[in-house]
Structure 1
Amino acid sequence: MNRKRMMVICTLLLALSIGQSSTWGSRANAAALAPERALQVQDSEASKDDELLDTLGLSSDEQLYDALYNGQTLADIASSHQRDAQAVVDLQVAQLTEQLDQRLANKSITLEQYQAHKAELTQVVAKSVFGL
């Protein structure tokens, strides 16, 4: 296995883990305090994953993992399945905006932080999707 490729995948997985760490902690707490709420959170996250897979034209997480592992960008994956890469950008921007809205409502970020993140969100997501 190519060491460089392995490092890229590990870095991607680490970034995804860090980005979801607050959600994982909340899920564990929710399960202890309110099991029905924990199921809602899990269902919501699963539906977001399904939306991404549908938008990309894929049927499983494994297909997505394999394509990313083989060096394809999300735009490449969408194109190879006759899907619009801009739809992937729009979906991810909408999902991340929802997260930002929740963080602002929970007061885990300030209004200034919210505005700064929101201002650069589309550009950052587009760069990620198109591999720029």
Structure 2
Amino acid sequence: MNMKRVIIIGTMIVTMSFAGTAWGQSGISPIPSPKWSIVDLDTREGNDDELLSALNQPSEADLYQELYSGKSLKTITEEHNGNLNEVIAIQVRQLREQLDERLASGSISSEQHAAQQAELEELVMQSANTAYNLV
């Protein structure tokens, strides 16, 4: 055999052996879509969001627009005959769940957890009554 042929065949074998492991794996990896807002704009049919129900809002996009225009959650619930007490209770519950998850994952200490839990309801009530002018 001539030397040129040995080098070409050897290179092909090495290339195929390295590439063979890569061929078994998918080259496509799912990339999550970024969330650009604190309000999820997923407005699919049948989306039963308890916060939207309490605010009496048809969609998250509508809620986002009203918040963006400078209305407080209190104003939005009053304008749409929603239930402000239910809105506050939902937000407090969701934030407590997040704090519990952060404590369980170790990202906050038990002292931080207790301190944040203590001021949670007051913070949510204050936030619900505050209008943020983003325009």
Give the TM-score normalised by the residue count of structure 2: 0.59
**Structure 1 or 2: more helix by fraction:** 1
Gaps of 5+ in 1: 1-12, 18-46
Identity of aligned residues (%): 42
Return the structure number with greater relative CO, CA threshold 8 A, min gap 6: 2
Structure possessing the higher radius of gyration over alpha carbons: 2
1:92 maps to a residue whose letter is Q
CA RMSD across the alignment: 1.9
- For residue 109 of structure 1, give the secondary structure of its aligned residue in structure 2: coil
Q: Deviations over 1:86-111 (max 9, x none)?
A: 21111100000001111111111100
Aligned to 2:50: 51
- For residue 119 of structure 2, give the secondary structure of its aligned residue in structure 1: helix
Alignment of 1:1-132 (within 5 A): 13=37, 16=38, 50-131=49-130
Runs (4+) of structure 1 moved beyond 2 Å?
A: none
Gaps of 5+ in 2: 1-36, 40-46
Give the TM-score normalised by the residue count of structure 1: 0.61
- For residue 108 of structure 1, give the secondary structure of its aligned residue in structure 2: coil
